[in-house]
Structure 1
């Protein structure tokens, strides 16, 4: 195969040329758009505002994240059937209560089940 300039053409379906598979779909199955970017940013702000949450956590190896154009938001991942939120809880705070509060604020924003995982105590 050659391209229009006579050089070798690049086959976009060549598996060796494909980027690493990254789940960057929103709940509708489409890639992130301004709407889903705003949604993830709202979720991030709401979770970080919960008393007792000291931060979002990327899970094992920091892999749990939502990939947005030019950046990623660790600790939040939207799926077709649920939203995952992974947090670090401040020491001395009631872990179960903080997790329930996180679940509540996220459910106010998304209309699907919410899975909250406390990854660490800081």
Structure 2
């Protein structure tokens, strides 16, 4: 019985980096004008987690990188600043926003 309980507890362990990466991805996708997150030229921009990855978000101990594709009809700088402010407020880490592409 105690073995089953230990497995249940292990399943409930929260992965703070993974949860943070997923939360940041949801925040960024909700910014008006964000078409999608971008994984970089070779898909290297991601938070790698056991069995999954969050593409377009790279979380390190000292910073967060966010790579996005924006709609062509939004102000690029203002949208990047909005992303920066939201992610910084959520993580309290320095944030680097990269606009990888503009969607037509």
Taking structure 1 as the reference length, the TM-score comes to 0.70
RMSD, matched Cα: 1.1
Match of 1:110 in 2: 91
Partner of 1:101: 82
Quick one: distance in 2 between partners of 1:86 and 1:44? 10
CA distance in 1, matches of 2:56, 2:33: 16
- CA displacement 1:44-101 (0-9 Å, x = unmatched): 1000000010100011211110112211111100112211000000111111011001
Partner SS for 1:117: strand
Q: Hey, which of these two has a bigger chunk of helix by percent?
A: 2
Say how many residue pairs are matched: 90
* Structure 1 unmatched ranges of 5 or more: 1-32
The answer on whether the counterparts of 2:17 and 2:59 sit within 8 Å (CA) in structure 1 is no
Relative contact order (C-alpha < 8 Å, sep 6+): which is higher? Answer: 2
Work out whether 1:79 is the aligned partner of 2:60: yes
How far off is 1:40 after superposition?
Answer: 1.0
Please state if 1:66 is matched with 2:27.
Answer: no
5+ residue gaps, structure 2 = 1-13
* Higher mean C-alpha deviation, range 97-106 or range 33-42: 33-42
Q: Which of 55, 66, 69 is equivalent to 1:88?
A: 69
Segments of 4+ in structure 1 off by > 4 A?
A: none
**Secondary structure of the corresponding residue to residue 61 of structure 1:** coil
